[in-house]
Chain A
Amino acid sequence: MADKQGAKLAAGPEQIVYASVLEKGMYIGLLILFITFALYAFGIMKPYIPLDQISQYWSTNVHDYLEHAHIKTGWSWLGMLKYGDFVNFLGVAILAGVTIVCYLRIIPVLLKKNDKVYAVLALLEVLVLSLAASGILAVGGH
């Protein structure tokens, strides 16, 4: 009886799988973000924009910042990982990308349960988040 109630109260298998992937991704992302920030802030890695000049940019709008600092949008930061400021984007990308991995991971679990509707919804979510992450959706801006 108690076992039956315990099973009823427990989270479903897809929920447990989602939670464990999310947990690992979150810890990895935060750890990388903090390590790379230390490399940047303590001057171990040379930044693209010198630390004493960054305050000239953060009060301008993003369009002017990108133009004056000659920074390209989208995934161009991947080509700038040798710089202390851009290496921080690794942690940001992991934090912003872990949800996509979580959804991809639960699709087989949902299909195994023959929960086709939720498998399709999860797949659609992967497509939505991948579209956002792709960098295709550039904004003209200001």
Chain B
Amino acid sequence: MVVPRKSSSVLLPKLGLLCLLLCSSPVMAATEEAMAGASQGHAWWFWPLILLIVTFVMGIFAVLGGVGGGVLFVPIISGFFPFHLDFVRGTGLLVALSGALAAGPGLLKMNLASLRLAIPVALIASACAIVGAMIGLALPTNIIQIALGATILGICVLMLTAKKSEFPDVQESDRLSSALRIYGVYQEKSTGKVVDWKIHRTPLGLCLFIIIGVMAGMFGLGAGWANVPVLNLLMGAPLKISVATSKFLLSITDTSAAWIYVNNGCVIPLMVVPSLVGIMMGSLVGVRLLAVTKPAVIRWIVIAMLGFAGVKALLKGLGI
């Protein structure tokens, strides 16, 4: 029997999605069930293995949903696994950091990530991420859990409402960005068009990175969800430059926060390495599935997953 090519291209995304859901739901169910009996004791490799499987699925969804691994990792793992939030945040930062380090060189070489744009922004965000990490480790866990839940639900709203502008209209660059010579040129591969870009509202944008840095450090989330709207919608960088610079920016912001967590003992290798491997392998599969899936459907699934994890974090923090 020969299956026509056309039908396979239609079936593949649906099958892929079905597989993802089939894989993730029993794992999540097993995770919740096993959590209830976590004290009964499992072989040492049980939780790292579950972590590897879940982060693999997460890596696929992260790529297809256009979000960073960290933003899915922290609420889901802290909500459904027996790990304390301190270790989840430390691991989440290393997951986000590794993803950014892996993507950074290519984005810089292609001139999609702009070092000139990233340097001043990163200086503010990384300094504030240190403050955020210290606040996050000093506050009681339930307070952080509540704030995390609220932040995740806020991210859902942002994902539902925020618009994107491929080529924002920047009439004139502001004085600060002109003085710092933050502008550039890139070629849009799909059309061959050469795009000259510049930014505006730089002082306001830099002020917002104070808040973004603090939140990235406090929750160990990575901060792509906030970087992109500020760079693109507020400061007027083209969407591709914003996305690439944001990804690269995480390698600097998360470095400062990650050191605070590492130096305060929040790193357990048995959590870190399976998570890194899972997310990386999942991302590789996700990139392949990207061509055959419908981004809008995946985006809704990611928003639903985040919403669920956000409510769970909120309830956990409130002790409900």
Q: Which residues of A contact B (CB under 8 A)?
A: 5, 8-12, 14-16, 18-20, 22-23, 25-26, 29-30, 33-34, 36-37, 40-41, 51-52, 54-55, 57-62, 65-66, 71, 73-75, 85, 88-89, 92-93, 95-100, 106, 117-118, 121-122, 124-125, 128-129, 131-135, 137-142
Interface pair A62/B273, CB less than 8 Å apart? no
- Size of the B side of the interface (Cβ < 8 Å), in residues, is 67
A92-B94, A117-B180 known; 12 new pairs, CB 8 Å cut-off, are: A11-B115, A16-B108, A19-B108, A20-B105, A30-B102, A55-B47, A59-B83, A92-B272, A125-B252, A128-B130, A137-B134, A142-B138
Interface bits B90-112 vs A (CB < 8 Å: 1, else 0): 00001001100110111011110
Interface pair A96/B105, CB less than 8 Å apart? no
Q: Please judge, given known A-B contacts A128-B130, A132-B259, whether A89 and B119 are in contact too, CB under 8 Å.
A: no
Among B82, B105, B123, B260, max chain A CB count under 10 A is at B105
Interface pair A93/B262, CB less than 8 Å apart? yes
> What distance in Å separates the Cβ of A88 from its nearest Cβ neighbour in chain B?
4
Q: How far is the CA of A90 from the CA of B106 in the complex (A)?
A: 25
Residues of B within 8 A of A141 (CB): 137-138, 264
Interface pair B262/A121, CB less than 8 Å apart? no
Residues of A within 8 A of B203 (CB): none
Residues of B within 8 A of A142 (CB): 137-138, 140-141
Q: Please judge, given known A-B contacts A62-B137, A125-B119, A128-B130, whether A16 and B47 are in contact too, CB under 8 Å.
A: no
B55 at the interface (CB under 8 A from A): no
B84, B186, B267, B270: the one contacting A9 at CB < 8 Å is B186
List the B residue with the shortest CB-CB distance to A6.
B187
Of the A-B pairs whose beta carbons lie under 8 Å apart in the complex, a sample of 24, sorted by A's number, is A11-B108, A11-B115, A16-B108, A18-B115, A19-B105, A22-B105, A36-B269, A41-B45, A41-B270, A55-B42, A57-B268, A58-B84, A59-B84, A61-B84, A62-B84, A62-B86, A73-B265, A89-B269, A92-B94, A132-B259, A134-B263, A137-B130, A139-B138, A140-B138
Interface pair A118/B82, CB less than 8 Å apart? no
Interface pair A121/B119, CB less than 8 Å apart? yes
Q: How far is the CA of A141 from the CA of B138 in the complex (A)?
A: 4
Q: How far is the CA of A60 from the CA of B42 in the complex (A)?
A: 17
List the A residue with the shortest CB-CB distance to B179.
A117
Q: Please judge, given known A-B contacts A57-B268, A95-B98, A129-B256, whether A15 and B263 are in contact too, CB under 8 Å.
A: no
List the A residue with the shortest CB-CB distance to B122.
A125
Q: Which residues of B contact A (CB under 8 A)?
A: 38, 41-45, 47, 82-84, 86-87, 94, 97-98, 101-102, 104-106, 108-111, 114-116, 119-120, 122-123, 126-127, 130, 134, 137-138, 140-141, 179-180, 185-187, 194, 251-252, 255-260, 262-273, 276-277
List the B residue with the shortest CB-CB distance to A30.
B98
Q: How far is the CA of A141 from the CA of B277 in the complex (A)?
A: 30
Residues of A within 8 A of B86 (CB): 61-62, 65
Q: Please judge, given known A-B contacts A10-B111, A88-B273, A96-B258, whether A62 and B265 are in contact too, CB under 8 Å.
A: yes
Q: How far is the CA of A61 from the CA of B115 in the complex (A)?
A: 38
Residues of B within 8 A of A22 (CB): 101, 104-105, 108, 251
Interface pair A96/B268, CB less than 8 Å apart? no
List the B residue with the shortest CB-CB distance to A133.
B259
> What distance in Å separates the Cβ of A116 from its nearest Cβ neighbour in chain B?
12
Residues of A within 8 A of B101 (CB): 22, 25-26, 29, 95, 98
> What distance in Å separates the Cβ of B316 from its nearest Cβ neighbour in chain A?
13
A65, A93, A121: the one contacting B265 at CB < 8 Å is A65
Residues of B within 8 A of A61 (CB): 84, 86, 141
Residues of B within 8 A of A30 (CB): 98, 102, 276
Residues of A within 8 A of B123 (CB): 121, 124-125, 128
List the A residue with the shortest CB-CB distance to B120.
A121
List the A residue with the shortest CB-CB distance to B109.
A19
> What distance in Å separates the Cβ of A54 from its nearest Cβ neighbour in chain B?
6
Residues of B within 8 A of A131 (CB): 130
